[in-house]
Structure 1
Amino acid sequence: MNDNTTFKLYLDKDGQDLDSVYLTHYAALHQYAYTMLNDGHMAEEMVHQVFLKLMERSEPLNIHTSVKAYLYRSVNNECLNYIKHQKVKQSHQTYTMNTMNHQTENPAGKLQYKELEQHLRKAINDLPEQCRIIFQMSRFEELKYSEIAAELGIAVKTVENQMSKALKRLRLQLADYLPILLWLLINLM
């Protein structure tokens, strides 16, 4: 496979062409992504995303530059998208924090916060007993699902199902307080 000519990537059924490209370029692409993200795990994730997208293509890929240049550009784009997503996420968290701080500084905000606390306590207390216990152990005692399962003598899957049930019920009951609730849950985790 010549790296400097127009290249058509055909995936045979066992993916050998892509495997060969992956093995040839993975280490360098990972290092490149790491220099952009400064996070080994996310660098690995970005490189895997590029190859996953290549695998999922149903048509051959025409590359008019070198394969290496195409892969570097793809990893670069994945990293930039990830960075952009992180900035949006951070911006949203900052906005939520500022909104919360502003709301709790004025009397109306304090009242709304107290009202939310009351509604949250009531909503938690209204959960079925096992569901409530599991939710409290997870959110307030910060136990992992496996730790909760071991302590209660139940399956981890049961803990997952009960947490899902609890969060769904709380979301429905506290829909009017979602921005404040999001801030609280982010800070409790």
Structure 2
Amino acid sequence: MSLNENQLLAAFANGDRRAFEHLFKEYYNGACRYVFRILRDEDTCEEIVQSTFVNLWEKREMIKEDINFKSYLFRAAYNTALNYIKHEKVVNKYVNNKQDSIEISIQSYVSHQPDFELQKRIDDAIEGLPPQCQKVFRMSREEGLKYHEIADELHISKKTVEVHMGKALKLLRTQLQDYLVFFLPLVVLL
């Protein structure tokens, strides 16, 4: 590292926002490209790199002025990306298990109710969802698309798809609570 970079890191460690901005501008794009090779999702890569910079800013006093900042940043971003992947695996496993349980519960419940009455309530509840939320829900349930496929088709992040699905399930649970009371496991799962 050159002396200028050492001085920049010292200023950064002391809370100099201009030093932070300089480091951000210098390394942000490269860090995004690096993380993209791991995740292959541009929006998520940007979120991870931004989060990494925020974490570095919060722990700036611990950063030594003689480190290779680029290596340090890239290692931190790499670790954040790996944690994201682990978290996504847990979330996906949970969501898949929950969806399977919900579908089994709905099928069991439907066998105890007249099809037309329940289907009408479900259709009305789905129609009452906000437009984008409804679209994401239908793409998932009716077209059988996975979250990343929906995200690609609608040009939104996978996280946004998850938020819409969570909102849809919550609203549907509220709208269909009269029917769900009869089948307690479904209430617990939704």
Give, in angstroms, the shift of residue 43 of structure 1.
1.1
Compared with structure 1, are the counterparts of its residues 170 and 24 closer, same or farther at alpha carbon in structure 2 (3 Å cutoff)? Answer: same
SS of the residue corresponding to residue 65 of structure 1 reads coil
In the alignment, which residue of structure 2 is the partner of 1:48?
Answer: 50
Give the count of matched residue pairs. 146
Counterpart selection for 1:96 from 81, 90, 98: 98
For residues 66 and 140 of structure 1, what CA distance do their matches in structure 2 show? 45
In the alignment, which residue of structure 1 is the partner of 2:34?
Answer: 32
TM-score between the two structures when normalised by the length of structure 2 = 0.56
Counterpart selection for 1:135 from 120, 128, 144: 128
For residues 133 and 90 of structure 1, what CA distance do their matches in structure 2 show? 23
Q: Percent identity?
A: 21
TM-score between the two structures when normalised by the length of structure 1 = 0.56
Compared with structure 1, are the counterparts of its residues 169 and 111 closer, same or farther at alpha carbon in structure 2 (3 Å cutoff)? Answer: closer
Counterpart selection for 1:86 from 88, 100, 117: 88
Q: Per-residue displacement from partner, 1:87-110 (whole Å, max 9, x unpaired)? A: 112211332344356x36xxxx74
Contact 2:32 2:49 in 1 (8 A): yes
Give, in angstroms, the shift of residue 69 of structure 1.
1.6
Superposition map of 1:1-189 within 5 A: 2=3, 7-8=9-10, 9-12=13-16, 15-55=17-57, 57=58, 60-63=61-64, 65-100=67-102, 103=104, 110-114=107-111, 135-136=128-129, 138=131, 142=135, 167=171, 170=174, 173=177, 174=180, 176=184, 177-178=186-187, 181=190
For residues 73 and 48 of structure 1, what CA distance do their matches in structure 2 show? 14
Compared with structure 1, are the counterparts of its residues 90 and 141 closer, same or farther at alpha carbon in structure 2 (3 Å cutoff)? Answer: closer
Compared with structure 1, are the counterparts of its residues 58 and 25 closer, same or farther at alpha carbon in structure 2 (3 Å cutoff)? Answer: closer
2:19 corresponds to which letter in structure 1? D
Q: Per-residue displacement from partner, 1:136-175 (whole Å, max 9, x unpaired)? A: 56489639xxxxxxxxxxxxxxxxxxx89x8398189447
2:187 corresponds to which letter in structure 1? L
For residues 47 and 33 of structure 1, what CA distance do their matches in structure 2 show? 8
For residues 51 and 77 of structure 2, what CA distance do their matches in structure 1 show? 8
Give, in angstroms, the shift of residue 59 of structure 1.
6.0
Contact 1:96 1:179 in 2 (8 A): no
Contact 1:30 1:47 in 2 (8 A): yes
Compared with structure 1, are the counterparts of its residues 114 and 11 closer, same or farther at alpha carbon in structure 2 (3 Å cutoff)? Answer: farther
RMSD (Å) for aligned C-alpha atoms: 4.2
